[in-house]
Structure 1
Amino acid sequence: MSLSFDYRRFSCPLVEPMRTADGAIESREGFLIRISDGTHVGYGEASPLPGWTESIDDCEAALEAASEASENGRSALIDATDHTSAARHGVSLAVADLAATIDAQPLYRDLGALERVPRVPVNATIGDGSPAATAEAAADAVDRGFGCCKVKVGVRSTEADLERVRRVRETVGDEVDLRVDANGAWTFEEAERVVAALADLDVSILEQPLPAGALGGHAELRGNGVAIAVDEGILEHGVDAILDAKAADVFVFKPMALGGVDVARQLAAWVAEDNRGVIVTTTYDAVVARTAAVHLAAAIPDVLPSGLATASMLERDLGPDPVFFDHGNAVIPQAKGLGVEDVWDEP
């Protein structure tokens, strides 16, 4: 079936620059995608991120190839972008949104959920700051209903970061689920020293304590009272190598970096068979990809509190957000497909 295929470039400024290994990013640049069968419409978003996906130029080239393949149907569209994760994410999402709209059901049902899912748990992300500022941010998140806080560490010394985590635990009490994300900043010796202290503070998950390549080190850190999660390591090694190395208790899936919500859903089912936990996070995406990540989380049984509350990172978005948050949960849109509206016109 021939489909119409259109895309346009967008830029959504960030409230604060995002620090990456390739430098600071001040806006999320990407492409909004729209496909139609003449009656129904599906939307997708391809937002490349340095260090995680292809470049913006390679993404656009892949989308142009998809445009040329559109007369050959949905599979040809996706095949044209198979070598580029952000472009594939956008195109496959538009195809999935169109299919779910035609099926007259929410996207998460087409992704495999067997029943209605009203909401999924979400974590609050607490950025780097002084111990007092970190504790205050965590207390504010708990006051807004979040039952899980993830504290970013790794910029300061391990002693300074431990003090920050201690202050958070003292402030929010024992009932709040507390996590720590080091973004691969520590050596094995530092991580080994910190894990015992984090266990004493009842931290549930330590995310990416070591650089992505250190599968053996992550495996050695497991079993010490804090679950070990991998994020960046998934792109470098793949899920199968991480499972073979027994390097993780939890997998953090970013659908934009993995090539689509369909790919992430398949990987989630795979790691669940090995009794591993799953967290879904965005890459500070605009509303189309962000909503898709929420639908993905809704399609994963027993998904852990996930990093989906990231709309506030954007100064301007592509359109209204169909997801709202209630007491630390994302309320799932129950409209056809993604449930996004009024995104195609320039903001």
Structure 2
Amino acid sequence: MRIDPFSLRLSSPLRTARAEMLDREGFLVSVDPTVDDVASAGLGEATPLPGWTESLSACEDALCGIGDAGPDALDAVDADATPAARHGLALALADADARDAGLSVAERLAEDAELPSPAASVPVNATIGDGSVDAATRAAERAVDDGYRCLKVKVGARGLDADVERLRAVRRAVGPAVELRADANGSWSRSVARRALDRFRAVDPAYVEQPLPADDLDGLRRLRADSRVPVAVDESLAAYTVEEVLNADATDVLIVKPMALGGPDEALAAARRARAAGVEPIVTTTVDGVVARVGAVHVAAAIPDVGACGLATGSLLAADLAPDPCPVEAGEISVPTAPGLAGDAFDGLR
């Protein structure tokens, strides 16, 4: 197994609960049939996001400690402690296994899980930042003109009155047929969240994502039970397991991040557990490089009738690891059908 570090400059700073980042750093993980217990070469990506996954150094330590990169090596990587490291290896092995079988990663995932054939394309949402009313309206109109039928609007950074005004303006601009989502990134108290969901009903949001802090699982349960607006959980999966969130009846929608859950296999398993509990899964990235992003597209494609996913994140990078083999077109991403992640698209990285 080969591990190659990389650093990708962001188009603009990325703000998380803990810090502001200018770069995304990680490792390309390559498995080779000449040295590893695999039939075909495979490529993965481990891009940790502090606050969501392990640190960069912990990720590197976990990858360096794997040794033999055969399929059994996954058992030695803790998906809870070092999910990004496990993602890198799991994606590389999935790429190699699918290439060996002459199938795309999505086809192989669906086959292994006994699911229907994967979708040919995945709908994606556009993200509208927390700017002014005019800025939000212009961005929403551009996105709809570009073919997006689902918009996620950032809220919570301003006062509630300002957020209500922005959402109403966006809804007036794009009309009733476009799906609106609101993402508060855990910024509200219970009382503010309750008022927000009540006032947002006028714009008919599909759901409000992470209205309460990540660790307030009981508050999310109570809010969901009392509100007519669906609730989605995202950051809470950094504080609780999928099972804990589902068992708490804390969400209507589960935001599934393959990098944070430990790989494409773990992400698909989480999506299936969510569906079994009556919760809808939505696949998103952690602002990853193109290798992991394409892997997430395959995961989303393997989920039957998946909703619009948060996979249109390539534009957040000023530069990428390689050209994107499946760019967004008219609000959708066509799923690569060549063997593995995308046929020979990443041969220069393997």
The equivalent of 1:220 in structure 2 is 222
1:14 lines up with 2:10 in the alignment: yes
Q: Look up the match of 1:204.
A: 206
**Residue 129 (1) aligns with residue 131 (2):** yes
Aligned to 1:76: 73
Q: How does 1:174-323 map to 2 (within 5 A)?
A: 174-222=176-224, 224-323=227-326
Distance 1:184 1:313 in 2: 21
Equivalent residues in 2 for 1:94-109, closer than 5 Å:
94-109=92-107
Task: Specify the SS of the correspondent of 1:291.
Answer: helix
CA shift for structure 1 position 294: 0.4
1: CA distance, partners of 2:118 / 2:311: 19
Tell me which amino acid in the other structure corresponds to 2:228.
G
Within 2, Cα distance between the matches of 1:29 and 1:241?
30
Secondary structure of the residue aligned to 1:17 is strand
Q: Matched residue of 2:65: which SS?
A: helix
Counterpart-to-counterpart distance in 2, 1:274 and 1:80: 27
Q: Does 1:54 align with 2:54?
A: yes
1:90 corresponding residue in structure 2: 88
User: Could you tell me which residue of structure 2 aligns to residue 31 of structure 1?
Assistant: 27
Q: Alpha-carbon deviations, 1:88-109, whole Å to 9, x = none?
A: 0000110011000001011011
Given that 1:33 and 1:44 are in contact with CA atoms closer than 8 Å, whether structure 2 keeps it comes out as yes
Q: Shift of residue 244 of structure 1?
A: 2.0
Question: What letter matches 1:129 in structure 2?
Answer: G
Secondary structure at 2:131 match in 1: coil
Over 3 Å counting, the alpha-carbon distance change for 1:342 and 1:331 in structure 2 is closer
- RMSD across aligned C-alpha pairs, in angstroms? 1.5
Percent identity for Structure 1 against Structure 2: 46
Structure 1: segments with no counterpart, 5+ residues: none
Cα distance in 1, alignment partners of residues 82 and 347 from structure 2: 23
Which residue does 2:152 correspond to in 1?
150
Cα offset, 1:323, TM superposition? 0.7
Provide structure 2 residue ranges, at least 5 long, that are not aligned to the other structure.
none
Contact map agreement 1:288 1:340 (CA 8 A) in 2: no
CA distance in 2, matches of 1:18, 1:342: 28
One-letter identity of the residue aligned with 1:103: A
1:163-174 correspondence runs (5 A): 163-174=165-176
Please say if residues 320 and 341 of structure 1, whose CA atoms lie closer than 8 Å, have aligned partners that are also in contact: no
CA distance in 2, matches of 1:143, 1:114: 32
Tell me if structure 1 keeps the 8 A contact 2:118–2:302: no
Taking the aligned partners of 1:277 and 1:204, their CA distance within structure 2 comes to: 12
Paired amino acid for 2:44? G
Q: State the SS of the aligned residue for 1:222.
A: helix
Deviation at residue 220 of structure 1 after TM alignment: 2.1
Q: Which amino acid aligns with 2:318?
A: E
Give the Cα–Cα distance (whole angstroms) in 2 for the partners of residues 138 and 27 of structure 1.
Answer: 26
Query: Which amino acid is 2:319 matched to?
Result: R
**Preserved contact between residue 104 and residue 337 of structure 1 (Cα < 8 Å):** yes
2:53/2:238 contact within 8 Å kept: no
> Once the 2 structures are TM-superposed, how far is the Cα of residue 343 of structure 1 from its aligned partner?
4.4
What TM-score, normalized by structure 2, do the two folds share?
A: 0.93
Native 8 Å contact 1:69 1:80 kept in 2 = no
Give deviations 1:113-160, integer Å, cap 9, x for gaps.
422521011111111100110011011000000000000111111111
SS in 2 for 1:305: coil
Distance between the aligned counterparts of 1:164 and 1:122, measured in 2? Answer: 22
Range with greater deviation from structure 2 (240-249 or 119-128): 240-249
8 Å contact 2:140–2:151 — kept in the other structure?
yes
2-structure distance, mates of 1:81, 1:338:
24
Q: Distance in 2 between matches of 1:80 and 1:234?
A: 19
The Cα offsets for residues 215-250 of structure 1, whole Å up to 9 and x where unpaired, read as 222122225331100011122121222222211000
What SS does structure 1 have at the residue aligned with 2:206? Answer: strand
Q: If the length of structure 1 is used for normalisation, what is the TM-score? A: 0.94
